Amino acid sequence: MSEQNKKTALITGANRGIGFETARQLGRQDIKVLVGARSEENGKEAESKLKNEGFDAEFVMLD
């Protein structure tokens, strides 16, 4: 799928628990994941873990 047509999902609370696992499952389906979290430190850590698994992920600060 071209980058222009690639699906993107915003997952709130994606830095841990069910949100993180949801992000992983979507990443496995070649969906870009926006990692939504209130904590910058935790959000960036989750982003890094997902990228290390080969997924397209980007941290987004949410409050």
Tokens for 51? Answer: 């990228």
Tokens for 19? Answer: 């949100």
**Three-state DSSP class for residue 48:** helix
Read off the pLDDT of residues 4-59 as tens digits, 9 standing for 90 and up.
789 999 999 999 999 999 999 999 999 999 999 999 999 999 999 999 999 999 99
Domain count, the chain: 1
Altogether, the residues listed in the chain come to a count of 63
User: Domain limits at 52?
Assistant: 3-61
CATH number at residue 24: 3.40.50.720
pLDDT of residue 1: 59
